[in-house]
Amino acid sequence: MNPRPRPLLARTRLILALGLTALLAACGGGGTALTCDAADQKTWLRSFMGEWYFWYRLSPSPDPAGYATLADYFDALLYKGGTPPFPSDRYSGFESTESFNRFYRDGQTLGYGMFVAGVEVRGLPGDPLYVRYIEPRSDAAARGVRRGDRVLSVNGRSASDLIAADDFSVLSPANPGDLLTLELDGATGRRTVTLTAAVYALTPVPTHAVVTTPLGRRMGYVVVKDMISQANSPMETAFADFRRQGVAEAVIDLRYNGGGLVSVASLLGAYVGGVRTAGQTFAQLLYNDQRSAINNQTFTFQNPSSALGLAKVYVLAGPRTCSASEQIVNGLRPFTNVVVIGDTTCGKPVGSLPRSNCGQTFSAINFESVNARTEGRYFDGFEPTCRVAEDFTRALGTSTEPLLQAAMQHADSGACPLPTAAERERPMRRLTPAERVAEPGERQGMLAR
């Protein structure tokens, strides 16, 4: 929602790496810049993009001398669109290597831990702004901020002003110790809360449960927030519990999952598919014609001991379901009936191999991802089987939360819920692909190792 912010935390992008810290400097063309002065960095960037960029044949390659900053030159090298089916490159970006490693290697992030439903109210300053998600180990959680709290003001600025400006950058701190003062209205009434930014450990699988539908079907429900290696152990715990309790279907809640490691996405898909998909292709990563013979890569489904082997799976999704989480839908489709509940996914079937240079990690798009049937290029996102609006006042995992409730109803009846009178009067907004962007403090990526 920030206008063209530079860090990856605030821009949409997809990233894929053959490894994490050690391999970042070893992959890519041109080695590293001769020095870290601006001229050498721009020269290095031009060489790297000319060899690895997916759209190198379609993108400009201007002389770097005409650009004052590395950021300006990076933008000048990006594909501007005009060649169907590829839209313009709104995915590439870069961030500090420290920030990149903190998230994808260490499973940590800098932030307040509070995320708002800003996409849903874009252009609607008269609508309420709700807290939609709280990271369990963050200061927001410790201070009692909850999903469903209504944000009235942030650092003295009204929520309606933030919505009108379409600018929520204040929610992304620059440094540990930064303060965020919130005026909230929730179950305990109006209150003022001050949050302190800190580096905290992520909770990539915050909850799982076995739920029972109105007709008595047992369904396994699990929220997977980030595809990082720290998710592997709690995913195993969740699916072992589902297997032990004999669930009939699984509900994978990916509505806030911006992606991460392809290996984690492949493992999650394998827990669903089990013996039905073992050894089959989960995803193929296809590079440009200069790199394809060396770098094209295939991820296959494994058969973990706690796998369910389901013929049908429910995926709860929306505009923040992106990159490696969209691969769950695309990768399982050739083998499994994937029922998508919620809203259209973000639409990012391309990715990049991050490359570190002079303390920055660049994520320029250089591959597309396809499934076992070579299906990809879903730049418009995956449309839901059942289009269902969120109710941010309902806790995730409860039987009254609309997306989970719709999945349970569909499991019982095979039909989507009918819209309510209020929903008929005011249908869900349909966002364009360009509007399905990362919000402050969130990432969208594909990393493989």
Return the minimum-mean-pLDDT range out of 29-43, 108-122, 371-385. 29-43
Q: 445-447 and 259-261: which strand pairing?
A: parallel
Distances (CA, A) of 33 to 42, 68, 150, 223, 447: 9, 17, 48, 42, 24
Q: For the purposes of burial, counting CB atoms within 10 Å of the CB of 196, is it exposed (0-12), middle (13-18) or buried (19 or more)?
A: middle
**Is the separation of the CB atoms in 220 and 249 below 8 Å?**
yes
Q: At what angle do helices 262-273 and 324-332 cross, to 10 degrees?
A: 30
The answer to whether residues 153 and 171 touch, using CB atoms and an 8 Å cutoff, is no
Greatest Cα pair distance in the chain:
68
What's the whole-model pTM score? 0.92
Q: What is the pLDDT of residues 311-345, one digit of tens each?
A: 999 999 999 999 999 999 999 999 999 999 999 99
Read off the pLDDT band of 448 (50, 70, 90).
low
Stretch 266-278: mean pLDDT: 97
Q: State what percent of residues in the chain have pLDDT above 90.
A: 84
Beta bridge partners of 260: 227, 446
Q: What pLDDT does 339 receive?
A: 98
Tokens of 56: 């190198």
Predicted confidence band at 166 (pLDDT cuts at 50, 70, 90)?
A: very high
Q: Reduced to 3 states, what is the DSSP secondary structure of residue 114?
A: strand
Q: How high is the mean pLDDT of the chain?
A: 91
pLDDT number for residue 2: 32
Mean pLDDT, rounded, for 133-144: 98
221 vs 247: CA distance, rounded Å? 10
DSSP 448: -
